[in-house]
Chains A and B, each alone.
Chain A
Amino acid sequence: MLESMLSGVGQILTVSHILYMCLGVSVGLLVGIIPGLGGIAGMALLLPFLYGMEPGLALGMLMGMVAVIPTGDTFASVLMGIPGSSSSQATVMDGFPLAKQGQAARALSSAFLSSLCGGVIGALILTVFILMARPLVLGFSSSELFVLTMLGLAMVAVLSGGQLFKGIAACGLGLLVGAMGTAPATGEFRLNLGVEYLFDGIPLVVLGLGIFAIPEIIELMIQKSSIAREQAGLGKGWKRGVQDVWQNRGLVARCAGIGSIIGTIPGLAGSVVDWLTYGYASRTVKGEKHFGQGDIRGVIAPESANNACACGAMVPTLLFGVPGSGTAAIFLGGLLLLGLEPGVSMITTHLDLTYNIIWSLALANILGAAFCLILARPVAQLTRVPFALIAPVITMLVLFAAYQATRSLGDWYSLIAIGAIGLLFKQAGWSRPAFLIGFVLAPGAETYFYQSIQFNGLAGFMRPGVLIILLITALALLYPLGKKLLARRRDTASEKVETTSVVERTQATWGVVDVILVVGMLLIAALSWYDVRDISFIAHVFPMLSIVFLGGGALAVALQIRTEGAIRVEQPALQELCWLAGLLMVIVVASVLGFVSTAALGSLLFLTFVAKARWLTIVLITLGIVAFLLGMQSLLSLHYPSGLLDALVFSGP
């Protein structure tokens, strides 16, 4: 074993290995920074080189790419509120508010430092763990996987703070949207409204963009300010971010630990881990908390976890050939192409290659984070630019990212639909993470519940692993309650400490948007019930359950408003919805004229008439957008909706 370790070190510390790894790291950062691309695009870039390469070098290159994607995607989530991939969704929660407070550099530097630490800790854990991980991976039966999804769903209660019923309704809606498409147990179609696009359900990236990015963009459009409203101290943030990580080193280590363990469990995609650690941080950290409004620990926790998770995901990929995450699935393809079959041989005959992979991960994490740390300071200045000037760029980026999900116009239309939900949720203070968590966990919860019943019967829920996870879930749910009781006994005035992610309102409120949402949700519940009533029992039991959550939650919100004498508050949404309609028009135009022409024309018109920018700025920004789109098209052989005008002006390769 020691021999393999040494040979692994020998392999990665050669000039050629480091050079190929740098190539991998730069590709990984490129596809990580640009929202919506991620591992699949990176792999497409590297695959042509891969065939026939020496396995050790090729692995270094692949690992370099895979390792830094969760690092690079932080830029978009912090600076623009765009969750570029599934691993950066929780980062948006506090990272973007920090950027709005003029602390983008602080948020970025602590995010990158946490990523670095998380990645290195993950690799260290993996070094030892991979040798004995087999029993653990095999210990997780479908029953344990099912209750783990329940633990994930319990985060809804944690994250919705004082507004539990709204959280439950939002989560129910997420579960229902997640159940769209095909029933895993029977292959029956359900809830797809007869639209072919919906047979596969809505892609996660589109949902994340719609629920987080669209409402933020529209808010910024209306305010017409720069992203950073408070301009003070932008330059000093860098150092402070480093200090933040140092002060929270315990949190970093714990989240990295959680990340690498959750990562080893195949089937639970990395998208849960950031919410789990985010919820964990918001529950356990001490001192004053303002999660959801720019608490640096809300950035540190998920960022240390997601790089560690990428390490952990290598365990099932290498040992069982079952990828633990989307990126790992792509890495697996690379392995096969190199002629390496995953399996037990990876810790026996090929142990040196396995160590090569693990330590390449660590080294790539260091390289990637160092590079991003250097970039963080200048890039953070972007948040000072008046938003009207970068609005066309961000809008184009969001549309670009959404369209890469399945390369169908359906991506854009569902972006708008989800964007409308996100907008209403934001205006009325309904929990957007709850919706996202419901969506992310829906397929896992359903499949594992069904499989667990089929494989193990009810006895499966008495397994020790299941009981332990259920205990943790109960603790997560009851922790604030217990704390509240304790606090009440001690001092009634200490309420302020418990404030979690959402501002706790002492008095219940309601507004027009609440009414729209409650009525809309009840309608959706009824229509969904009508849609699934005819399919077989095992295919409709899960959507039914989601409908119960959705309808029950919505009714409870309605009752709360009626009985508790809630105060009516203003919930403006009309102007926001008009902007959304404008975006819809852009999409319609883009599908007729073509994306590149529309992006160029839209940017020209917007900058001239809305932003009233100088002509040089207008030309430069527009040219930049066109150059980016065409460059990406030829580099990654991407496709955009090519309408009438694109075909004439920009005939692609």
Chain B
Amino acid sequence: MSDRKKRHRPPYIRVLMLALVTAMTFQSSQAADSVTTPVPDTLTWTVPFGVGGGTDVWARFMSHWVGESLENRPAIVINNVPGGGSITGANLFYSRARSNGAEMIVTSASTQYPAMLKDPRVRFDYSRWTPIIAAPTGGVVYAQSSMGGDLKEVLEHLRQHESKFGAQTPTGLELPILLAFDMLGLQVDPVFGMRSRGEGRLAFERGEAGIDFQTTSAYFSSVTPLVKSGQAVPLFSLGVMNDDNVIVRDPAFPDLPTFSELYLAQPGTRRDDMAYQVYHKFFASGYALQKLLLVPKDIDASLLATYRDAAKKLAENPEFLEAARQRIGPYDPVTGDVAARQLEAAMQMSQTRRQWIVDWLKQKHGIRVVTQ
């Protein structure tokens, strides 16, 4: 545009044109390959759980660090939408969230499991979301030390005598644990209706429950003293998932066997038998990827790349890792493509496997699960 031409136009036309051009750049930036879409100034994270819960605390912790690792330091607003054990909020996000990159959702095992079981209330679909960062967790099963001094004795006791386990819901975080008990032939009778894992631990401390399970951070703060005082004896950890989707020893509990080790040591068991396959699925989606930060899959590709780069950078930031270790345990976050691949594999539940777990719940615990 030459100077002479410019002079002929009235100034307001120039302003208008400028505005138009700017508007068009914003509109068409998705099409333009060379231009990376800027990160919005405000990101809204939907947390489908109440304030102060485990997932909410994780989200608030992460929002601080994710905000710092993005160049423009966006403000991150946490929007708690509790209800229906996280199904309400996830449904709402699924139907309302725009794919502009400013809206994200934080989910947990209790969001993943109903989706895998095709709960009739679930209207969201994980295949339309993609993870930015995920936090794994581990956990330990422990029992009253009155049952025996070492692992073998306690397991033998648990096989002979019925003992109680305080659980929240049949299809919640404890589902793979219940499955594990059965796969080891332990006679564990779950008592449902606990409002948190903490209440389950309280029932154990009171002596009402004979066996209990806690995730890593709660185990360190609340169960280690019980082990030291001789009231509790740890049995096995759940292990962690390595990059080849194989469950290996938990770095937090190097001396404790994993459930997989104990199970596969039993005669007649294989990695590809039905029970282990189903357990593996629920472990992958509920523990290996327990907490997830997701965005709609169809956001701008360059923006997704920006977020994933930030997550990758964060996963290498020693300050973050130090802070995360204190709260989550010694587990490195899973980011980007790895998380996406693992999530996809975990969430794919064949009809036969789903039917198998539904039948198992019915026969073993008399629980009727309604599926779509």
Contacts and interface: CB of A to CB of B under 8 A. Distances in A.
Task: Tell me whether A and B are bound partners.
Answer: yes
A343 to B, nearest CB: 4
Interface string A303-346: 00000000000001000111000000111111011010111110
A343 B193 contact: no
Nearest to A181: B84
A485 to B, nearest CB: 41
Nearest to B217: A341
Contacts of B164: 454-455
Interface string B199-218: 10111011011000000011
Interface in B343-372: 366-370
A64 B286 CA distance: 37
Given A321-B222, A455-B164, A456-B208, A40 B50 contact: yes
B268 interface: no
Nearest to B169: A187
Residue from A137, A267, A343 having most chain B Cβ neighbours under 10 A: A343
B57 A337 contact: yes
Contacts of A468: none
B201 A339 contact: no
Given A186-B367, A322-B199, A342-B221, A142 B208 contact: yes
Interface in B41-77: 50-54, 56-57, 60-61, 64, 77
Contacts of B198: 320-322
Contacts of A139: 206
B202 A185 contact: no
Contacts of B220: 341
Interface in B161-209: 164, 166, 169-171, 189, 191-193, 195-196, 198-199, 201-203, 205-206, 208-209
A142 B222 contact: no
B57 A184 contact: no
A451 interface: yes
Contact of A320 (B57, B222, B367): B222
Nearest to B82: A406
B51 A187 contact: no
Given A187-B171, A333-B53, A343-B225, A266 B327 contact: no
B121 A334 contact: no
Given A185-B193, A266-B202, A450-B193, A637 B366 contact: no
B199 A266 contact: yes
A455 B191 contact: yes
A520 to B, nearest CB: 29
Interface in A178-201: 184-189, 196, 199-200
A321 B221 contact: yes
Given A185-B192, A187-B170, A406 B51 contact: no
Interface stretch (A43-51, A112-120, A581-589): A43-51
Interface string B79-92: 11111100010000
A414 interface: no
Nearest to A456: B208
Interface in B228-256: none
B326 interface: yes
Nearest to A330: B52
Secondary structure call for the B interface: mixed
Interface in A121-155: 137-142
Contact of A44 (B51, B208, B326, B367): B51
A447 interface: yes
A339 B327 CA distance: 7
B197 to A, nearest CB: 9
A338 B357 CA distance: 39
Contacts of A52: 64
Given A321-B221, A322-B198, A455-B203, A187 B57 contact: no
Secondary structure call for the A interface: helix
Question: Which size bracket describes the interface of A in this complex?
Answer: 35 or more
B203 A330 contact: no
A548 B118 CA distance: 35
B79 A187 contact: no
A199 B84 contact: yes
Contacts of B221: 321, 341-343, 345
Contacts of A186: 170, 192, 366-368
B289 to A, nearest CB: 21
B202 A320 contact: yes
Contacts of B326: 339
A406 B83 contact: yes
Nearest to A348: B225
Contacts of B52: 40, 43, 329-334
Nearest to A327: B52
A341 B214 CA distance: 14
Interface string A23-53: 0000000000000000010011001000110
A407 interface: yes
A575 interface: no
Contacts of A447: 193
Residue from A184, A187, A196 having most chain B Cβ neighbours under 10 A: A187
Interface in A341-358: 341-345
A637 B217 CA distance: 31
Given A138-B206, A320-B201, A40 B51 contact: yes
Contacts of B201: 320-322
A138 B171 CA distance: 28
A637 B79 contact: yes
B199 A267 contact: yes
Residue from A44, A189, A322, A637 having most chain B Cβ neighbours under 10 A: A322
25 contacts: A40-B52, A43-B52, A184-B192, A186-B192, A187-B367, A199-B84, A266-B202, A267-B195, A267-B199, A320-B198, A321-B201, A329-B50, A330-B51, A333-B57, A337-B57, A339-B323, A341-B222, A343-B225, A406-B83, A451-B166, A451-B193, A451-B203, A455-B164, A455-B191, A536-B368
The 10 closest A-B pairs by CB, nearest first: A333-B52, A341-B221, A184-B193, A330-B52, A455-B208, A322-B198, A447-B193, A454-B191, A343-B221, A343-B222
Interface of A: 40, 43-44, 47, 51-52, 137-142, 184-189, 196, 199-200, 266-267, 316, 320-322, 329-334, 336-337, 339, 341-345, 406-408, 447, 450-451, 454-456, 536, 637
Given A140-B206, A188-B368, A456-B208, 7 more contacts: A196-B88, A267-B195, A339-B323, A341-B217, A341-B220, A407-B81, A451-B203
